[in-house]
């Protein structure tokens, strides 16, 4: 079984069946922020953590991660983040925040062009919130060599809307027989806009291969 994961960085869990083939690169950008102004720090993605200049200065802050992948990267810096119980999305974070009192100003750390639903919601509720972009996503100059790697494949995993869009623009030929896998219902909806079906998997499972095999039944 051959599986391609299009995430722009390798996971901490390595499987010999899975090859990491990014469809875009992550580039760190200039950041200016005074952390003393914020009590609550929300990270929207692992890349937001990996590219944040002041990651060592979060002691005493309330830290929230959008999902297990982001939480895992925060643990590498000895931070234990709160995460949604089930829905790893903006909605899940908002539901988590609504379960307790939010005091102090909030900073949402994300990528350039990323979703602003959390900050928009909090500001609409008069909970002062700012955003900080720590990286942007840039497509590759050519996809010719990457396209060759998408042969004799059984599954392709998508974890971002941009990866889906780049795949169908630069890689897809219409002759593929592999199955599309999405890490969330939001990504599944993006795939559907290209008239393709996909299956949502528990991407953060401790046994991802078994999760993928379940899609065959």
Assign a CATH topology to domain 27-137.
Rossmann fold (3.40.50)
CA 160/CA 20 separation, integer angstroms: 14
Closest CA to 105 of 80, 90, 123, 93: 123
| CATH number given to 3-23+141-214 | 3.40.50.10090
Q: What is the pLDDT along the chain (217 residues), one digit of tens a residue?
A: 899 999 998 765 567 889 999 999 999 999 999 999 999 999 999 999 999 999 999 999 999 999 999 999 999 999 999 999 988 999 999 999 999 999 999 999 999 999 999 999 999 999 999 999 999 999 999 999 999 999 999 999 999 999 999 999 999 999 889 999 999 999 999 999 999 999 999 988 888 999 898 888 7
The two domains 3-23+141-214 and 27-137 share their CATH topology (first three levels equal)? yes
User: Among candidates 140, 120, 136, which has minimal Cα distance to 48?
Assistant: 136
Residue 138 near residue 23 (C-beta atoms within 8 A): no
d(CA 217, CA 84): 29
Give the residues across from 198 on adjacent strands: 180
Domain ranges of the chain: 3-23+141-214, 27-137
Instruction: Give the global pTM.
Output: 0.86
Task: Retrieve residue 178's tokens.
Answer: 């592999």
């Amino acid at each position: 079984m051959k599986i391609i994961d299009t995430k722009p960085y390798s996971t901490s869990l390595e499987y010999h069946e899975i090859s990491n083939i990014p469809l875009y690169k992550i580039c760190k950008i200039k950041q200016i922020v005074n952390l003393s102004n914020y009590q609550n720090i929300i990270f929207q993605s692992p890349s937001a953590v990996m590219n944040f200049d002041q990651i060592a200065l979060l002691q005493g802050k309330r830290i929230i991660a959008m999902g297990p992948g982001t939480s895992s990267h925060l643990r590498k810096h000895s931070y234990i983040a709160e995460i949604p119980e089930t829905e790893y999305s903006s909605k899940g974070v908002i539901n988590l925040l609504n379960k307790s009192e939010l005091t102090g100003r909030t900073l949402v750390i994300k990528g350039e062009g990323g979703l602003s639903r959390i900050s928009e919601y909090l500001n609409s509720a008069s909970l002062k919130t700012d955003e900080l972009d720590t990286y942007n996503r840039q497509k590759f100059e050519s996809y010719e060599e990457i396209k060759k790697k998408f042969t004799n494949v059984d599954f392709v995993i998508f974890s971002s809307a941009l990866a889906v869009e780049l795949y169908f623009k630069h890689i897809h030929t219409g002759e593929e027989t592999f199955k599309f896998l999405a890490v969330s219902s939001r990504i599944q909806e993006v795939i559907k806009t290209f008239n393709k079906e996909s299956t949502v998997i528990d991407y953060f499972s401790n046994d991802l291969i078994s999760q993928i095999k379940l899609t065959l039944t």
